[in-house]
Amino acid sequence: MSEIILSLQNAQIFQRENLVLSDVNLTINKGEFVYLIGKTGSGKSSLMKTLYGDLPLEKGKGSIVDFNLNTLKEKEIPYLRRKIGIVFQDFKLLNDRSVFENLLFVLKATGWKDAIKIKAKINEVLSKVGMETKDFKMPFQLSGGEQQRIAIARALLNNPDLILADEPSGNLDPATSVDVMNVLKEIHNSGKTILMATHDYALILKFPYRTIKCEGGELFEVVKQQSTV
């Protein structure tokens, strides 16, 4: 029996007062890699924000990493976000502190206290993304691809059950996008569940995984075309 990480049933996704997606039904099992595609304004970002507690789920049923989205309280959101790693398009690194201090900030904010364990954890996640020698650098000293690797490392700090990647290659050139995707693929291969919003169709062709699409106010599964080659 597969373990369900994310479940939405007849969910209505709102952006302020506007209904952007209706009757959303989606199940993601542990260990899956799923793309979320759709044009700008199709509801991808609103769906992502609903999943990590930025927007409330007002209608329908939803659960994510054992949290009920219908009854999610403000004070529970930090605990939800410890079980979810979020990777943003614009990295959201703190530019006034080093890579190490960026990761330290997250661990301290989520209750880590033991300095030895903290250092070991930071080294572990940096080595997973191939950035273990860059811990002393400031974000502005890194390329876009390197900054996104740090953002992925940050998402891994609390060993999340699910990684939500919101357009992680949106600000990167094609070659760097492939590099970052290879990092995500390795993380997925280690057993992590990933939901990635993207409109980079070249990546989807190169790294084919289950794909769901937002279009015309609905969410539906994209049936892969059989290659005729």
Banded model confidence at residue 229, pLDDT cuts 50, 70, 90: very low
Cα separation, 217 vs 225, whole angstroms = 23
Query: Is the pLDDT score of 31 beyond 90?
Result: yes
HEC sequence for the chain:
CCCEEEEEEEEEEEECCEEEEEEEEEEEECCCEEEEECCCCCCHHHHHHHHCCCCCCCEEEEEECCEECCCCCHHHHHHHHHCEEEECCCCCCCCCCCHHHHHHHHHHHCCCCCHHHHHHHHHHHHHHCCCHHHCCCCHHHCCHHHHHHHHHHHHHCCCCCEEEEECCCCCCCHHHHHHHHHHHHHHHHCCCEEEEECCCHHHHHHCCCEEEEEECCEEEECCCCCCCC
CB atoms within 10 A of CB 16: 7
Q: Which CATH fold would you assign to the domain 4-221?
A: Rossmann fold (3.40.50)
Banded model confidence at residue 111, pLDDT cuts 50, 70, 90: confident
pLDDT digits (tens, 9 = 90+) for 37-95: 998 888 998 999 999 999 999 899 999 999 999 999 999 998 898 899 999 888 889 99
- 0.75 exceeded by the pTM? yes
pLDDT digits (tens, 9 = 90+) for 148-190: 999 999 999 999 999 999 999 888 899 999 999 999 999 999 9
pLDDT digits (tens, 9 = 90+) for 116-144: 999 999 999 999 999 999 999 999 999 99
Residue whose entry in the numeric block shows the structure tokens 């506007």 = 18
